[in-house]
Amino acid sequence: GDQVEQSPSALSLHEGTGSALRCNFTTTMRAVQWFRKNSRGSLINLFYLASGTKENGRLKSAFDSKERYSTLHIRDAQLEDSGTYFCAAFDTNAYKVIFGKGTHLHVLP
Amino acid sequence: EAAVTQSPRSKVAVTGGKVTLSCHQTNNHDYMYWYRQDTGHGLRLIHYSYVADSTEKGDIPDGYKASRPSQENFSLILELASLSQTAVYFCASSRRDRGPEVFFGKGTRLTVV
């Protein structure tokens, strides 16, 4: 099975509301990174975490290696937040990045 | 900010033709990666390299070759392009340290017709 399970696969939010994306891992990961792929196809780094939480503006991410999950919270969603969000986990034993399948976020006016 | 540059940004190739995608990084990173992205599959690793003149197979290497002639450059080669290789390809780089951040290029949209 997939080592990284990302949910939900798709999400629609009205402007000004918020929600959370989640990645569950089947094994212990050493770190996680969150990206957003915008409408032009570019991948934008959002957060990199080896533990704990980080916050940047309306985004906040948490990573718990022991409990094997990471979350990305979006608050006060704006139209420009629309895009596909990926989590990527760093395996402890192999030098490989394992990606979730992405969450397609659509922010509605 | 670390920089990873891919070229071309988009390409249309003919089935059976040879395609070379290029990637250049100015980050002084040891590791470089090639991923492809297909709807419903997220990003999948094709090849990666941790040192110049050496490449390793990723999760889906069939139909692809890679070349790392220098620390800065990493190419992905499709010797005989096929329709199934239509996708967006991302190059990335990272440091040698445990748990590094990965820096991505902007992607190359390849359409095989």
- A5 and A23 Cβ atoms separated by less than 8 Å: yes
At A21, list the tokens: 């994306």
At A109, list the tokens: 């006016």
Tell me how far apart the terminal alpha carbons of chain B are, to the nearest angstrom. 36
- In terms of pLDDT, which residue wins out, B61 or A1? B61
Strand-pairing partners, residue A106, are A12
Question: What is the percent of chain A where pLDDT is above 70?
Answer: 90
Gap between the Cα atoms of B66 and B58, Å rounded: 11
Inter-chain touch A95–B31, beta carbons under 8 Å: yes
Mean pLDDT computed over B10-30: 95
Burial class (CB in 10 A: 0-12, 13-18, 19+), A100: buried
Inter-chain touch B104–A45, beta carbons under 8 Å: yes
Chain A contacts of B94, Cβ < 8 Å?
Answer: 97
Residues A50-71 pLDDT 10s: 899 999 999 999 999 999 999 9
**Cβ-based contacts under 8 A for chains A and B:** 51
Give the distance from residue B48's alpha carbon to the nearest chain A alpha carbon, in angstroms: 9
> Could you tell me if A54 lies within 8 Å of chain B, comparing CB atoms?
no
- Pairing relationship of beta strands A103-108 and A10-14 according to DSSP bridges: parallel
Q: Taking the CB of residue A38, how many other CB atoms lie within 10 A of it?
A: 14
Inter-chain touch B45–A35, beta carbons under 8 Å: no
Q: Taking the CB of residue B91, how many other CB atoms lie within 10 A of it?
A: 26
Which pLDDT band, with edges at 50, 70 and 90, does B98 fall under?
A: very low
- B16 and B81 Cβ atoms separated by less than 8 Å: yes
Gap between the Cα atoms of A24 and A52, Å rounded: 15
Give the pLDDT of residue B99. 46
CA distances from A109 to A16, A20, A37, B69, B78 (A): 9, 19, 20, 49, 43
At B9, list the tokens: 């940004």
Q: Taking the CB of residue B14, how many other CB atoms lie within 10 A of it?
A: 10
Residues A3-60 pLDDT 10s: 899 999 999 999 999 999 999 999 999 889 899 986 666 678 899 888 999 999 999 9
Give the distance from residue B107's alpha carbon to the nearest chain A alpha carbon, in angstroms: 6
Chain A contacts of B48, Cβ < 8 Å?
Answer: 95-96
Tell me how far apart the terminal alpha carbons of chain A are, to the nearest angstrom. 37
